[in-house]
Structure 1
Amino acid sequence: MADHRLGFESFDEETDPVELDVAGELPEWLSGTLYRNGPGDFEVGDRDLTHWFDGFALLRRFRFDDGIEYSSRFLESDAYRAAREGELRYPEFGTNPDWSFLGRLRGLLGGARTDNASLTVRHRDGEHRAVTETAREVAFDPVDLSTLGTHDGSVEGTGTLAHDHYDFHQEEWVGLGIDYGRDSGYVLYHDPDDGPAETVAHVERDEPAYMHSFALTDHYAVLTEHPFTTSPRRLLDSRPFAESFRWYPERDTRFLVVDRREGEVVAEPTVPPFFTFHHVDAFERGDELFVDLVAFEDHSVVESLSLANLRSRAPEVPDGELRRYRIDLEAGEAEGRTLFEEDIEFPTTNYAEANLHPYRFCYGVGSEAGSFNDRLHKVDVEHGTNEEWREAELHPGEPLFVPRPDAEEEDDGVLISVALDVEEERSCVLVLDAAGFEEIARAYLPHALPFDFHGTFYADGEEPTPSMT
């Protein structure tokens, strides 16, 4: 019998649209398309890649309309085409090409940034795009998933965060870039629907921290600067990008509160050190900000996502806990408390309702020690309770919330997750009623997909706005 390791094997299939057999009953109102993104191939010639984040992007499309239609296709990025010829042309997160010093210098200055856009998808400037942690976004056809071309980005910075925010009231994207060059620091920008992207602030840092996401409120962007930092000098040596960062346990984690309009840093409170990949939500109450995120005790979770560890029978991955940090802008102080102490990751919400506002429900995946993503959580952050869904031999991915049209309750909708059934040795689409947190439909794919990262759902008849950060 297979186990979770099946989800970390290289995949070499592409699937034209096929109707899946659905067991159970899909809601009549569920009509739209779910796009998922994640690694599909972990090899370049005879060489294995090192980290889960390194695999070459495989787009997955699930069309909901009186059934489920599935298709998948590799993103034909420059990086992927070179890899098919046996060449690792660009540095990935945990694996480097065999470069000379001049090659590494060119990479640091932005001339050799990967377009292996395997983290998530977004809709911007009228296009569906795959994105990663560089400014190179890759457009794709929303129907057949064919690659349309690479965009090199319109804001300064050698790196960007794949997790940006959409402000539904202001009708603009807000994103964060990281500059690892001569003027290292964080680049906050906004990209309104009716105009070009513009830089809001450049916060200089000699040793910028690794950031995967950030928080946004009505008036502020909150950058969580944990003590996992690098420098241009360290990026020039032969180690991969992820290994150029160092953890400094004697330093605090700092919240950089940046005014979204003026670009000024208005507060820099610190708390004991922790690491985070994913923010959940943030909101304001008077002179106080509240920032919810998944916190780890240190950076070791980055190393734990190496393929060597994840392909072991009992992978050792640190637990993340859901925390809320209260930032007092007037006093310049911050303090945190635990909202949910069991392991949780890939957190999602009813994004259109929750983003920038107080919310009640957070959904995510969880694991027990020695396992990998073996359950789903629904955390009620107002009442401190949790509901759990799990099934033996099933490994669910990120649960995306899709609201029922005209819903009056925050959890009136469904959750969609793509899971690996190791007993069947196939992946399946799970649809759960979000309010009752019970499975209502399931559809099996013809094969087992590698574990993905993130995605979004675009409802029919609506503007394509994100369903998560």
Structure 2
Amino acid sequence: MTTSTPAPAATNPYLTGVLGPVAAEVEATDLRVTGELPAHLDGRYLRNGPNPAGPVDPARYHWFAGDAMVHGLALRDGRALWYRNRWVRTAAVARTLGEPRPPLDPGAGMLSVAPNTNVIEHAGQTLALVEGGGANYRLSEDLGTLGTCDFDGTLRGGYTAHPHRDPHTGELHAVSYSFARGTNVTYSVIDAAGRLRRSVDIPVHGFPMMHDFTLTEKYVVIYDLPVTFDPAGAIPDSVPRLVRPAARALISRLAGRVRVPGPIAARIAADTTALQSLPFAWNPDYPARVGVLPRDGEADDIRWFDVDPCFVFHPVNGFSEQRDGQEVLVLDVIRYERMFDRDRRGPSEGEARLDRWEINLSTGRVTGQTRDDRPQEFPRINESRTGRPHRFGYTVGIDGLFAGAADLRGSVFKQDFHTGGTVAARLEPGVAVGELCFVPTPGGTAEDDGVLMGFGWHRDRDEGRLLVLDAGTLETVATVHLPQRVPLGFHGNWCPRATAV
């Protein structure tokens, strides 16, 4: 069992309670199951999130900056075969744990950025992902770190935390950003064999954070919103204090204005000192807009549409349809009024609302309305509907989550976009839950025929759990009892054994 020195919590809500890190890598087999796991579940549920491996400064620590820890649970024949959690062995983590540095290629992206945001499988590889020019990392089936990933040498300089898979072609579509790209974001397509097939650099008017995007059957939708690069958070702790003002000035002049030459970008990427703060902040002077690019188009084909200042981490889904001879793009999103303005430690400013935006591509008119004003996040759908009209979406209630509320109670919402209705899951009191992914029932025909799956925490018992809910009714189907708490991190996915490495 590998352990680390726990991070001091102080008053930082991202270092305590349901969000706080765990200090040990553990492994358990033949876990206890309450209820009945569907027999067709054969594979691994994997979830990624920030978990500092060593001490951090509570005053500076940003939730998004923690070292990456992937938690995994293997299911088969109605049994929970094993649970294990592993830090992704970046150079910084290996040094903290006193282990040899794994083989890392700076050309794959910045090595100082923890790959802590998502974990997926593609082309037979398990990948830990992050955005902003950070490197992807390849993991083994038992979550050991194999090294960095650049998609067989075809994609250099980092990727994204939120690729979207086309359900018909199996290709991964993505929008990526990085300081080394200057005032460009990159739309890329990774084919089903795991190699870059298409790449388009799209100019933007600054250096914004673009956490996610929307993929439709016809378009790639880009959210160019007013959270932008702030050099004050980009200086590694290894830089002496006397030098930091000059370093900030240099980075401010370079980042988001010029493309950094490859050798220089690689040298910066090789810095192995993990950042503890986030180099992005609310920028009231940055115009908010949405870009719509045809999937087979080039940069000159993008159209921009102004929207009210706001921020979107996660769209739900999007699609286009014809109405009275006009083409309308429908976008369901989780919208914040602002982000990283007064509080720079995590996404605690303002409430996250479920909105529907409509862009009339024939007239240019943009309209929007709030569909649900309860605080919610981490939207997921049946991903066979990605880019196509959808009826249902699933979100997690986050009221009080980022304020460290002692009475936090988990909520799961099923949104019906046809009727406008919402169903809420009746979770056991004391249970908080993170993002839930949708796993379809083999042979199922209804959009909501499947289960929702994700990690949660029973606060009163201090027990980690995997929750499995019926996606149609939100009733609990099964609970897997884990040997330790799993911090409510970021994103996870079900990886069927047929595609596991």
**Partner residue, 1:100:** none
Q: 2:395 aligns with which of 364, 372, 385?
A: 364
Report if aligned partners of 1:274, 1:295 keep a CA contact under 8 Å in 2. yes
**Partner residue, 2:481:** 444
**Partner residue, 2:453:** 416
Q: Supply the distance in 1 between the matched residues of 2:366 and 2:70 (Cα, whole angstroms).
A: 40
1:65-87 superposed Cα distances (whole Å, 9 cap, x missing partner): 1211322222222231133359x
Task: Give the C-alpha shift of residue 39 in structure 1.
Answer: 2.1
Q: 2:89 aligns with which of 70, 76, 88?
A: 76
Q: Supply the distance in 2 between the matched residues of 1:43 and 1:303 (Cα, whole angstroms).
A: 23
Report if aligned partners of 2:60, 2:345 keep a CA contact under 8 Å in 1. no
**Partner residue, 2:122:** 124
Task: Give the C-alpha shift of residue 20 in structure 1.
Answer: 1.1
Task: Provide the secondary structure at the position in 2 that maps to 1:432.
Answer: strand
**Partner residue, 1:211:** 210
Task: Give the C-alpha shift of residue 420 in structure 1.
Answer: 0.9
Give the direction of change, closer, same or farther, for the CA distance of 1:402–1:156 in structure 2 (3 Å limit): closer
Give the direction of change, closer, same or farther, for the CA distance of 1:459–1:85 in structure 2 (3 Å limit): closer
Report if aligned partners of 1:267, 1:329 keep a CA contact under 8 Å in 2. no
Q: 1:274 aligns with which of 300, 307, 310?
A: 310
Identity in percent: 27
Give the direction of change, closer, same or farther, for the CA distance of 1:72–1:242 in structure 2 (3 Å limit): closer
Task: Provide the secondary structure at the position in 1 that maps to 2:429.
Answer: coil
**Partner residue, 1:289:** 329
Question: How many correspondences in the alignment?
Answer: 431
Report if aligned partners of 2:49, 2:118 keep a CA contact under 8 Å in 1. yes
**Partner residue, 2:175:** 176
Q: Supply the distance in 1 between the matched residues of 2:277 and 2:73 (Cα, whole angstroms).
A: 32
Asked if 1:434 is matched to 2:471, the reply is yes
**C-alpha RMSD of the superposition:** 3.1
Alignment map for 1:285-364 (pairs within 5 Å): 285-286=321-322, 287-300=327-340, 303=343, 305-306=345-346, 318-351=350-383, 353-364=384-395
**Partner residue, 1:163:** 162
Task: Give the C-alpha shift of residue 243 in structure 1.
Answer: 5.3
Give the direction of change, closer, same or farther, for the CA distance of 1:81–1:48 in structure 2 (3 Å limit): farther
Give the letter for the 1:356 counterpart: G
Give the direction of change, closer, same or farther, for the CA distance of 1:112–1:267 in structure 2 (3 Å limit): closer
Structure with more of its chain in strand, by fraction: 1
TM-score, scaled to structure 2: 0.78
Task: Give the C-alpha shift of residue 22 in structure 1.
Answer: 0.8
Q: Supply the distance in 2 between the matched residues of 1:302 and 1:59 (Cα, whole angstroms).
A: 30
**Partner residue, 2:66:** 55
Task: Give the C-alpha shift of residue 182 in structure 1.
Answer: 6.6
Task: Give the C-alpha shift of residue 336 in structure 1.
Answer: 1.3
Q: Supply the distance in 2 between the matched residues of 1:182 and 1:452 (Cα, whole angstroms).
A: 28
Q: Supply the distance in 2 between the matched residues of 1:275 and 1:42 (Cα, whole angstroms).
A: 30
Report if aligned partners of 1:39, 1:451 keep a CA contact under 8 Å in 2. no
Asked if 1:225 is matched to 2:224, the reply is yes
Report if aligned partners of 2:120, 2:495 keep a CA contact under 8 Å in 1. no
**Partner residue, 1:95:** none
Alignment map for 1:86-165 (pairs within 5 Å): 112-114=110-112, 116-133=114-131, 134-142=133-141, 144-152=142-150, 159-165=158-164
Q: Supply the distance in 2 between the matched residues of 1:32 and 1:182 (Cα, whole angstroms).
A: 37
Q: Supply the distance in 1 between the matched residues of 2:156 and 2:362 (Cα, whole angstroms).
A: 31
Q: Supply the distance in 2 between the matched residues of 1:424 and 1:433 (Cα, whole angstroms).
A: 24
Task: Give the C-alpha shift of residue 411 in structure 1.
Answer: 0.9
Alignment map for 1:377-392 (pairs within 5 Å): 377-389=413-425, 390-392=427-429
**Partner residue, 2:79:** 67
Task: Provide the secondary structure at the position in 2 that maps to 1:122.
Answer: strand
Alignment map for 1:28-47 (pairs within 5 Å): 28-41=39-52, 43-44=54-55
Task: Provide the secondary structure at the position in 2 that maps to 1:41.
Answer: coil
Q: Supply the distance in 1 between the matched residues of 2:89 and 2:194 (Cα, whole angstroms).
A: 29
Q: Supply the distance in 1 between the matched residues of 2:84 and 2:280 (Cα, whole angstroms).
A: 37
Q: Supply the distance in 2 between the matched residues of 1:431 and 1:198 (Cα, whole angstroms).
A: 36
Give the letter for the 2:90 counterpart: S
Report if aligned partners of 1:267, 1:332 keep a CA contact under 8 Å in 2. no
Give the direction of change, closer, same or farther, for the CA distance of 1:406–1:267 in structure 2 (3 Å limit): same
Give the direction of change, closer, same or farther, for the CA distance of 1:361–1:256 in structure 2 (3 Å limit): same
**Partner residue, 2:297:** 262
**Partner residue, 1:104:** none
Give the letter for the 2:432 counterpart: H
**Partner residue, 1:101:** none
Q: Supply the distance in 1 between the matched residues of 2:334 and 2:366 (Cα, whole angstroms).
A: 16
Range 355-364 or range 317-326, more displaced: 317-326
Task: Provide the secondary structure at the position in 1 that maps to 2:371.
Answer: strand
1:38-94 superposed Cα distances (whole Å, 9 cap, x missing partner): 1233634788860111222222111111211322222222231133359xxxxxxxx
Task: Provide the secondary structure at the position in 2 that maps to 1:145.
Answer: coil
Moved over 6 A (4+): 45-49, 231-234, 238-242
Task: Provide the secondary structure at the position in 2 that maps to 1:303.
Answer: coil
